[in-house]
């Protein structure tokens, strides 16, 4: 069972800037992770383009798997036969799986939501399936993730209050049923609840109140990064994070840019996941301490330097921007790997730097430095 320990809690203010960042650890059956943490996304049982050893070298402590995707491919029968997802993909550190809620919103065809759960058609072959809150937990137990997520109804932006309320109510109902099922089964995997409520503060409050009555070992904020303006995302996160129990991990799902991570850690968020570092890498966009660069840009044609002189990743230690540009322009498979290694390292190194700053009680200074480098 999960154990969350807070090692340091910041409560500093500096002008208009507040810091509620906190440093902690989450102990799971597959090891201990340091928070705040970023979780690279391994949708289909592989963080696209990189190996588990490379993830290790990028300082990855926990990765995410997608229940919806893995349920469809390779299927639970395969993963069960292969003794769970950890064994199947050869990742022996902690793993979190989402519930499928986000994919019903973003990917599945004709998803129909009812008290019972979600009926949907596969985005691959149109085949019909049904996820109940119990089934979402059951599948994740087969996957064997260390942290499972409760089935939720994630709605897009914009959504009116009525729609948002309906999604919220179902999410709460499903959370209770999923939790009861999990308790009955006595599963060793942990289960987190997901707060919804769209872009309405009072509905976020309501959702948080309802969800936190259930004794989940951790809570997530879902339904952000669904197309809303950035200020709304920050406003909802800032409003909702303090409503979640201080003694349990807080996870904001599907967010975000390096700037988002810095802002949200400052608001007291402990866990993040996002496809951005890996997806952008495959599109040639690389993160650096001075901002993002587009590697296909002609100005890198003769550039002997690394992506980021401040970076200690394998790619920056070995390869020039010129070579990376060439690989990318030539669509060589190695391009996607080398770019992904860099971007994931950048994200995880950023998290480590934030943890160090919190430890030394200098998070606001860190934040100032972070932004000042980017303005150069």
Tokens standing for 123?
Answer: 């985005």
**Cα(60)–Cα(55) distance, integer angstroms:** 5
User: Among positive and negative, which fits the CA dihedral 230, 100, 148, 161?
Assistant: positive
Nearer Cβ to its own copies (82/293): 82
76 annotated as belonging to a binding site for a ligand: no
140 annotated as belonging to a binding site for a ligand: no
Residue 49 CB, shortest distance to its own copies, in Å, is 4
For residue 115, give Cα distances in angstroms to 142, 211, 215, 332: 24, 17, 21, 48
Which residues are tagged catalytic?
98, 273
289 annotated as belonging to a binding site for a ligand: no
**Residue 317 DSSP SS3:** helix
- Ramachandran bin of 268, using left for φ above 0, alpha for ψ from -120 to 50, beta for the remaining angles: left
**Cα(26)–Cα(247) distance, integer angstroms:** 11
101 annotated as belonging to a binding site for a ligand: yes
Nearer Cβ to its own copies (195/324): 324
HSE (side-chain half, CA atoms, 13 Å) at 291: 8
Residue 130 CB, shortest distance to its own copies, in Å, is 23
- Residues binding its own copies (CB under 8 A): 44-46, 48-51, 73-74, 77-78, 81-82, 88-90, 301-302, 304, 318-320, 322-323, 325-327, 329-330, 332-334, 336-337
Nearer Cβ to its own copies (213/318): 318
Residue 296 CB, shortest distance to its own copies, in Å, is 12
Residue 219 dihedral angles phi and psi, to the nearest 5°: -135, 145
Residue 32 CB, shortest distance to its own copies, in Å, is 24
Residue 139 CB, shortest distance to its own copies, in Å, is 16
317 annotated as belonging to a binding site for a ligand: no
**Residue 23 DSSP SS3:** strand
Q: Are 247 and 4 in contact (CB under 8 A)?
A: yes
**Cα(47)–Cα(40) distance, integer angstroms:** 7
Sheet holding 190-195, edge to edge: 37-39, 271-273, 250-252, 218-221, 190-195, 147-149, 95-97, 63-65
145 annotated as belonging to a binding site for a ligand: no
Residue 85 CB, shortest distance to its own copies, in Å, is 10
Nearer Cβ to its own copies (2/85): 85
Nearer Cβ to its own copies (51/205): 51
Nearer Cβ to its own copies (182/323): 323
313 annotated as belonging to a binding site for a ligand: yes
Q: Are 336 and 282 in contact (CB under 8 A)?
A: yes
Per the annotation, binding residues are: 98-102, 152, 196, 223, 311, 313, 316, 342
Per the annotation, binding residues for substrate are: 98-102, 152, 196, 223
Per the annotation, binding residues for Zn(2+) are: 311, 313, 316, 342
């Amino acid at each position: 069972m999960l154990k969350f320990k807070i090692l340091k809690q910041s409560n500093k203010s500096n002008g208009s800037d507040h810091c509620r960042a906190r440093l902690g650890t989450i102990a799971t059956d597959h090891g201990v992770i340091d928070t705040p943490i970023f979780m690279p996304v391994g949708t289909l049982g592989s963080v696209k383009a990189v190996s588990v050893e490379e993830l290790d070298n990028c300082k990855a402590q926990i990765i995410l798997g997608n229940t919806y995707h893995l349920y469809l491919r390779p299927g639970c029968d395969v993963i069960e036969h292969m003794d769970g997802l950890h064994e199947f993909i050869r990742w022996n550190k902690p793993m979190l799986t989402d519930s499928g809620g986000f994919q019903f919103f973003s990917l599945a065809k004709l998803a129909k939501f009812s008290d019972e759960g979600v009926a949907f058609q596969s985005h691959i072959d149109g085949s019909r399936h049904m996820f109940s809150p119990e089934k979402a937990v059951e599948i994740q137990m087969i996957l064997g993730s260390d942290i499972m997520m409760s089935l939720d109804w994630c709605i897009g932006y914009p959504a009116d209050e009525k729609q948002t309320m309906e999604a919220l109510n179902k999410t709460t109902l499903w959370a209770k049923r999923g939790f009861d099922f999990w308790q009955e089964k006595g599963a060793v995997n942990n289960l987190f609840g997901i707060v919804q409520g769209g872009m309405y503060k009072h509905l976020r409050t309501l959702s948080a109140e309802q969800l936190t009555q259930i004794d989940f070992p951790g809570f997530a904020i879902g339904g952000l990064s669904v197309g809303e303006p950035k200020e709304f995302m920050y406003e909802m996160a800032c409003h909702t994070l303090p409503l979640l129990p201080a003694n349990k991990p807080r996870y904001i799902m599907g967010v975000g840019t390096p700037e988002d991570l810095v802002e949200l850690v400052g608001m007291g968020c402990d866990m993040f996941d996002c496809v951005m570092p890996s997806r952008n890498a495959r599109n040639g966009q690389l993160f650096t301490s001075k901002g993002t660069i587009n590697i296909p840009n002609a100005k890198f044609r003769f550039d002997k330097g690394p992506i980021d002189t401040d970076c200690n990743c394998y790619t920056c230690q070995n390869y020039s921007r010129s070579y990376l540009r060439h690989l990318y322009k030539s669509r060589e498979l190695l391009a996607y790997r080398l770019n992904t290694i860099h971007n994931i390292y950048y994200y995880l190194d950023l998290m480590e730097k934030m943890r160090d700053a919190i430890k030394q009680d200098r998070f606001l200074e860190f934040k100032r430095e972070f932004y000042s480098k980017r303005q150069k």
